[in-house]
Amino acid sequence: MISALHNIGMTDGMITSSIITIVLSILAIVAGRHLRIVPSGLQNAVEMAVEGLLNFFSDIMGRKLARQYLPLVGTLFIYILCCNYSGLLPGAGEINGLSAPTNSINCTAAMAITVFIMTQVAGIKAARGPKYYLHLFKPVAFIAPLMAIEMLVRPLSLSLRLYGNVLGEETATHVFFQLIPIGVPVIMQALSILMGLIQALVFSLLTAIYLSEACETEELEAHE
């Protein structure tokens, strides 16, 4: 079945990311099916995780924006975390159909472009019209090209950071495994656990900051 998927052009990363998506969706559907005011069991656990994420992002974006954009940033965090950790499963990258999706630029670039478009939409929504782009001319007009380049380079750096970190870590583990097969790769894997969490955190954190920045520029102007 997996070779049939390969034949239609699906890579290992795509298969793994589809499986992660399906598992997360089923988990969310099952947890949210019989909602009760006093939660128990699975609903309790999921609510705790979502509340933790909401509190974390509230510190960065403010309560209102965090509630508004939690579906995006929270999903990104959970999805990237699962993607990074799927590369740590036994046999990942060796057996067919299992490999960390984030070690390919396609996956991370897709997420970064989504974030870029969402940032523009959020900024335009907050500014009620395309005058959102006036913030490019904000301090002085002649730095507008620089601000535009900075804005356009963000999805590039966002995708390259995640992709480079995951691929670099995997390559380093692979090289160490070829040098000393016993012991040393375990240390690298332990580091990978930390790295996967930090990279998921950084990606969603940066998304949150970009979003709050896009919404903030206009609010400040309205106060003046």
Residues that bind another protein (CB under 8 A): 59-60, 157, 160-161, 163-165, 167-168, 198, 201-202, 205-206, 209
CA atoms within 13 A on the CB side of 30: 9
Would you say 125 or 161 has its CB closer to another protein? 161
Least distance in Å: CB of 216 to another protein? Answer: 17
DSSP state of 142: G
Least distance in Å: CB of 161 to another protein? Answer: 4
Provide the residue count of the chain.
Answer: 224
d(Cα 208, Cα 218) in Å, to the nearest integer? 17
Least distance in Å: CB of 111 to another protein? Answer: 15
Q: How would you class 82 by CB atoms within 10 Å of its CB: exposed for 0-12, middle for 13-18, buried for 19 or more? A: buried
Answer yes or no: are the C-beta atoms of 158 and 115 closer than 8 Å: yes
Least distance in Å: CB of 5 to another protein? Answer: 26
Cβ count near 128 (within 10 Å): 10
d(Cα 194, Cα 9) in Å, to the nearest integer? 32
Least distance in Å: CB of 113 to another protein? Answer: 17
Would you say 26 or 149 has its CB closer to another protein? 149
Would you say 56 or 79 has its CB closer to another protein? 56
62 φψ region: left (φ > 0), alpha (ψ -120 to 50), beta (else): left
Answer yes or no: are the C-beta atoms of 124 and 132 closer than 8 Å: yes
> Which residue, among 120, 117, 130, has the nearest Cα to 213 in the 3D structure?
120
Would you say 39 or 164 has its CB closer to another protein? 164
Evaluated on CA atoms 174, 175, 180, 185, the torsion sign reads negative
Least distance in Å: CB of 202 to another protein? Answer: 4
